[in-house]
Structure 1
Amino acid sequence: MKKAVFLDRDGVIIEDSGYIENIEDVKFFPFTMEVLKKLKEHYELFIVTNQSGIGRGLITEEGVERVHAYILDELRKNDIHIKELYCCPHINEDKCICKKPNPYFLLEAEKKYNIDIKNSFVIGDHPSDVEFGFSVGATGIYVLTGHGEKHLSELKHRELIFDSLKETAEWILEGNKTEN
């Protein structure tokens, strides 16, 4: 079985600029490429993102797909391969099975790619990202970039909080793992 890192998109690998559908609005954090190159040496990489702006009619599915294609292309140019990018376009009222913190995409990746979820990590800037990981026994890690500072008081599990993906990756690569 393979270990993985599941990354939220906005606020973790790119700056959170609100609902975006234009590639001009994609701004990677300065550390993103370097950090993902290091992580990919030991872990399968996935992106899991809630894009409720689609369900709200604020952005189009086509626009989000363009943004995702651009992100994946930029990562590939830096020799970073994302195993799969999972995107939930729904709003809460849809009561779908794929919106974080529901573990649907984690369980899909576990089955499809033979992922060892218990020894994998989920990194996000919303409490739902952390709960997404904890719900199946993965290690949920909260970052203060993006919306992290704003939602800090909403966390139920406060063990693992880092300033950004950079510090998180350093900790992961040191071989640390907590039991949930």
Structure 2
Amino acid sequence: MRHKAVFLDRDGVLNEERRDHVKCWEEFAWIPGSREALRRLRGDGFFTIVVTNQSVVGRGLLDSSALEGIHRAMVSEVEQIGGGIDGVYYCPHTPDAGCDCRKPKPGLLLKASEDFSISLRDSYVVTDTMNDVEMAKSVGCMAMLVCTGRGREEIRHQSEWRVRPDYILPDLARAVEVILNLEGSECVKKGAEGGEGER
């Protein structure tokens, strides 16, 4: 049996993005409503998986152990309010490393889909970057661009987009609402807010 997943970018979707990068847990600041959004996904038949580029490791700003400590704390805080994150997949490499896991390449999605027996064509990617939208489209996931993080800046340059997201939404909380509606879990009218329904 193949399962469904919601894949989440980290910086700009779950937590506030920092120009100097998140290098310790004290620098990690949740975007309002993001933890609660993860709680709504719990128990609805989805795997919830974070996929993130973290070149801070490749650049020597922190090591893998420290990064994984940040992720353990992140998962723990979600679990404390009744939510869950089933996996965190990250690319530690710099952009010039030529790896297969740095987004927009789909390596992280492919690895997670293998580990969790996920049907990518029945899954979702929620992100604030067009790189991730391209990644989602390359494997058949539905792509949702949120306006937190870099999202608003990306929208200003949409004349340059090579692909388009299926939805443009204010934040993760609204993205989860739309996902649950599409899956028939909740009665939420699509297109009720500006910028939605761009499919």
CA shift digits 1:105-154 (9 cap, x unpaired)? 21112222111111100111111111111110011111110111122215
Structure 1 contact 20–59 (Cα < 8 Å) conserved: no
Secondary structure of the corresponding residue to residue 56 of structure 2: helix
Q: How far apart are the structure 1 equivalents of 2:166 and 2:123?
A: 16
- Distance between the aligned counterparts of 1:33 and 1:84, measured in 2? 15
Moved over 3 A (4+): none
Q: Report the equivalent of 1:165.
A: 172
Greater CA radius of gyration, 1 or 2?
2
Displacement, 1:158? Answer: 4.2
CA distance in 1, matches of 2:176, 2:10: 15
Runs of 5+ in structure 1 lacking a partner? none
Separation in structure 1 between the aligned mates of residue 33 and residue 66 of structure 2, nearest angstrom: 25
Q: CA deviation at 1:72?
A: 1.2
Distance 1:61 1:109, change over 3 A: closer
Return the TM-score normalized by structure 1. Answer: 0.91
Identity %: 34
Partner of 1:129: 132
Residue in structure 1 matched with residue 190 of structure 2 by the alignment? none
Counterparts in 2 of 1:63-142, with a 5 A limit?
63-142=66-145
How much is the aligned-residue C-alpha RMSD, in angstroms? 1.9
1:27-80 per-position Cα deviation (integer Å, ceiling 9, x unaligned)? 112211221111122211000010112222333333322211211111121222
User: In structure 2, do the counterparts of structure 1 residues 112 and 100 end up closer, same or farther at CA, with 3 Å as the change threshold?
Assistant: same
How many equivalent pairs are there? 179
Alpha-carbon contact 2:10-2:51 (below 8 Å) kept? yes
TM-score (normalised: structure 2): 0.83
User: Which stretch of the first structure deviates more once superposed, 154-163 or 121-130?
Assistant: 154-163
Structure 2 residue matching 1:82: 3-state secondary structure: coil
Q: Which has the higher contact order (CA 8 A, sep 6+)?
A: 1
